[in-house]
Amino acid sequence: MADAVQTNAQPHADAHAHPSNLQHHFDTPAQQFDASKFGMWLFLSTEVLFFSGLFLFYTVVRRHHPDAFALGSTFLDWRLGAINTLVLIASSLTMALGVYFAQRSMQRALVFCLVLTLIGAFTFMGIKYIEYSHKIHEQIVWGKWFNPTRGHEAAEHENAAPHGEVASQQDAEAAEPASGSHEPQPAAASAAPAAAIQSQPTAASTDSAPASEPALPIEQSGIMMAGNGPSGLAAGEEVEEKGEEPELDTYALAKQRKDVHLFLGVYFCLTGLHGIHVLAGIVMIICLLIGAIKGRYNSDYYTPIDVGGLYWHLVDLVWIFLFPLLYLV
């Protein structure tokens, strides 16, 4: 916190009676140190409760939509999640080592550790960015914008029509058979662009139950150009998708259900809030790094490093729970 990061060095003639870095309202450095750590632990407990609401959201959604939850989770790549977990654990280690070196007045080692922690943090955010951009590109997002579209189709889609405004039933029809093989709809597909803008329910009998009509406007997109619809097989994309579960096309399945987007809502809220905390942690570590380079921290006074470390460990703690809960469903 601001208090912990900015030190309050007051020049005093007698260093023993009133050590520098001791604020005027504290009696001893030990009292100040204890108070700072206690204050940080109180703040960490508020963070725990801050996330608690999202964990309740998670629990309710998972409890009441278990299948949609499991299906939504397949859109996450557990390997990226695992790498991120290991990255954060490593950065926690370097942070704890930073505290160790500060306690031993080993300034260069401290700076080195803080830099490593920062690298870990940026790596984490980088991987997060990759995950998010992939999902956003493929419209695997929350609420009514949930419309999983494989990469190449998404690219076409972005060129063809405004994002999120398309409502067409072609994709629903194409996605119908759970086996994943698309029924050829070349005629319908070629008529797509103009009709795509309107939320026109086609009279096709393969349409899902009429109750799915917008009173709940869940758009179905996917203007499949003739060459890209059924020829997805030829493009080889589906083979890749089918690598995990040969029988199921998760993209298609997800579009059949109305509640898979809830998982994505939970995912983006939890990882988003966590990501904001990582960003705040990055800012904090940079401040500590600047102070460390200036030689402010040593065995007499390393409180900001210690309390900053506590915050960073909390960020790691939250992710330790998020990883299995989101990625390993």
Partner 1 sequence: MSTLDASAAALPAADLPAGDNYLTCDRGFKSWAFTLDHKRIGVMYLTGILIFFMIGGLFALLVRTSLPVPGVAGQAKGPITAELYNKFFTLHGAIMVFIVIIPGIPAALGNFVLPLMLGAKDVAFPRINLMSFYFWCAGVVLALTSLVLGGVDTGWTFYTPYSTTTNTAVIPVVAGAFMLGFSSIFTGLNFIVTIHKLRPPEMGWFKMPLLLWAIYSTGIVQILATPVLGIILLLLIVERAVGIGIFDPALGGDPVLFQHFFWFYSHPAVYIMILPAMGVMSELLTVFSRRHIFGYSFIAYSSVAIAVFGFLVWGHHLFVSGQSNLLNTIFSAITFSVAVPSAIKVFNWLATLYKGSINLKTPMIYALGFIWIFGIGGLTGLFLGTLATDVHLHDTYFVVAHFHFVMAGTIFTFFGAVHYWWPKIMGKMYNEALGRWGAMLSMIGFNITFLAQFWMGSLGMPRRYFHYDPFFQPYHVASTIGAYIMGFGFLLTMICLVHSLFRGKRAAANPWGGVTLEWRTASPPPHYNFDRTPPVTDPYDFNLVRYNADTDAYDFIPAEERVAVPAGHH
Partner 2 sequence: MADQVQHGSDQPRVGHLVPWTTLLLTCFALMCLTVLTVYVAEYVDLGRFNIWLALIIATLKASLVCLYFMHLRYDRSFNAIVLIVAILTLMLFIGLALLDTNSYADELYRPDWDNFAPAITQQRDLAP
Distance between CA atoms of residues 107 and 50, nearest Å: 35
Which of 13, 49, 187, 211 is in the footprint of partner 1 by CB under 8 A? 49
CA distances from 62 to 58, 141, 254 (A): 6, 17, 16
Give the distance, in angstroms, between the CA of residue 96 and the centroid of all CA atoms in the same chain. Answer: 24
- CA nearest 3: which of 284, 276, 296? 284
Q: For residue 156, state whether it binds partner 1 (rule: CB under 8 A).
A: no
39 binds, among partner 1, partner 2, none (CB under 5 to 8 A by kind): partner 1
**Residue 44 binds to partner 2 (criterion: CB under 8 A):** yes
According to CB under 8 A, which one of 80, 142, 258, 287 is a site residue for partner 2?
Answer: 258
Q: Is 325 in the site for partner 2 (CB under 8 A)?
A: yes
Residue 240: closest CA among 77, 109, 59, 91: 77
Tell me how many residues contact partner 2 (CB under 8 A). 73
Q: Does the protein bind partner 1 through residue 280 (CB under 8 A)?
A: no
Residue 237 half-sphere exposure toward CB, CA atoms < 13 A: 17
Cβ closest to partner 2, residue 203 vs residue 211: 211
Rounded CA-CA distance 83/85 in Å is 5
Q: Is 210 in the site for partner 1 (CB under 8 A)?
A: no
Taking contact as CB under 8 A, which single stretch among the options 136-144, 189-197, 203-211, 300-308 is the one that binds partner 1?
136-144
Question: CA distances (Å), 131 to each of 62, 149, 269, in order?
Answer: 22, 15, 14
Q: Which of 13, 14, 27, 63 binds partner 2 (CB under 8 A)?
A: 63
Residue numbers at the binding site for partner 1 (CB under 8 A): 1-3, 6, 17-18, 23-27, 31, 34-35, 38-39, 42-43, 45-54, 56-57, 60-61, 65, 68, 142-145, 215-216, 258-259, 261-262, 265, 268-269, 273
